[in-house]
A and B are shown apart, each in its own frame.
Chain A
């Protein structure tokens, strides 16, 4: 063991006897963050049952702490400017899905529509199943994130977070909260559901920030 530790400290890893592996093409490999593999499937992960979200009573609310700043019904939300995003998504459970197409309302358009100037640097995305996840506000602006309501041209299915989920594709996908019901500005970077349970506070797949202690 000791000799292995010494090797490990030097940054070498011994190969696994007999393991060959299945390499992706160079083009795909360039698009896969470290430790990820490509899936053609669209796996479903959630902490509990899929909640039943009724569009007739659906509301999307932006809060500053306990204070509501703006709120939309489904019909109102559907009138906001629609944006299409195409690209790759990366789940901390190690699958990546390439060339996905989503559409919805960017956070820039959402804030502009309600004349909101972010009152703090952090927020929690909050969901109908009591899930939440923390994000720096800057990571949602500049076209980097949206409230997605359609996937591959069709209304977003419930198992994938429909009717509406957050989409922040440059971070691991647990940050893209399913069944979203609102955003809450927080004074500090407050850990959300998975961030309280061993997962990284920021979650950049290209720096492989999977778990709490990852650099």
Chain B
């Protein structure tokens, strides 16, 4: 792994909400017009909201859009007890402005020159930074094999599902396996159970390649289970990058 200094601008900038689109029952995409530098797939931005009395709240959101896209897309899951995500779901509308800084992060990133093959494993809204990688890969000239394994509760809750299916249909170098833990599978190659060690072993064997890098993003419980399964399946720990949210339970 090479270290890349990713220098985040210290300054907060205003960003305009251009469009909001519903993705799934719990996830919306917020499209921002910003003057931030182009990001690297996998990076995030910090978002800051300010109340009339000056009180501020900050959160980090992964970027879903491809580097260089005209609008920056954040996909935001509604957290019922959240402070910031309900604002985006219930209050925000096109024309509003928020503040952003970034892009941030120099580890959970992929550039076309990094090559592959790469394995991407997402749990729920953990798809967001991986979607940026898929889009970045899709736009790249020199292609390498990519396998995305994506676990969600139901087929309806797979964020970016239709775009992933189109990418799969268009490009044989892109493998896409979905597994749904609370609803039926929809394609013969999909699963309808937890992403455990035997499922991973089977899918990787079927894929038949050795990954150069593995990216796992999701809740900590999901990431911990998947990462430890991969290590038990003799995937070198040093090639596995993780991005997690939440605690032990």
Contacts and interface: CB of A to CB of B under 8 A. Distances in A.
Nearest to B4: A197
A211 B10 contact: yes
Contact of A44 (B54, B99, B228, B248): B248
B50 A48 contact: no
Contacts, number: 139
Given A21-B83, A157-B248, A197-B3, A50 B98 contact: no
A26 B50 CA distance: 18
A48 B247 CA distance: 15
A8 B8 contact: no
Contact of A196 (B91, B106, B230, B247): B106
Nearest to A35: B58
B122 to A, nearest CB: 16
A13 B240 CA distance: 40
Contact of B5 (A22, A94, A196): A196
A212 B224 contact: no
A50 B99 CA distance: 35
A27 to B, nearest CB: 16
A157 B100 CA distance: 35
Contact of A43 (B4, B231, B241, B247): B247
B91 A198 contact: no
A50 to B, nearest CB: 6
A79 interface: no
Interface size class of A (residues with CB under 8 A): 35 or more
Given A197-B4, A198-B106, A23 B55 contact: yes
Given A198-B104, A211-B10, A43 B51 contact: no
In this complex, the interface size class of chain B, counting residues with CB under 8 Å from chain A, is 35 or more
Contacts of B228: 49-50
Interface string A190-213: 000110111000000000001111
B107 A45 contact: no
A198 B244 contact: no
13 contacts: A8-B12, A13-B56, A15-B50, A17-B91, A18-B91, A19-B91, A37-B83, A44-B220, A51-B237, A94-B58, A196-B5, A197-B105, A198-B8
Interface of A: 1, 4, 8, 13-23, 35, 37, 41-51, 93-94, 129-130, 157, 159, 193-194, 196-198, 210-215
- 5 closest Cβ pairs, A-B complex: A197-B106, A196-B3, A49-B227, A198-B6, A211-B8
Given A49-B240, A93-B60, 15 more contacts: A13-B12, A14-B14, A16-B98, A21-B49, A37-B58, A43-B247, A44-B244, A44-B248, A49-B230, A194-B107, A211-B8, A211-B104, A213-B7, A213-B8, A215-B10
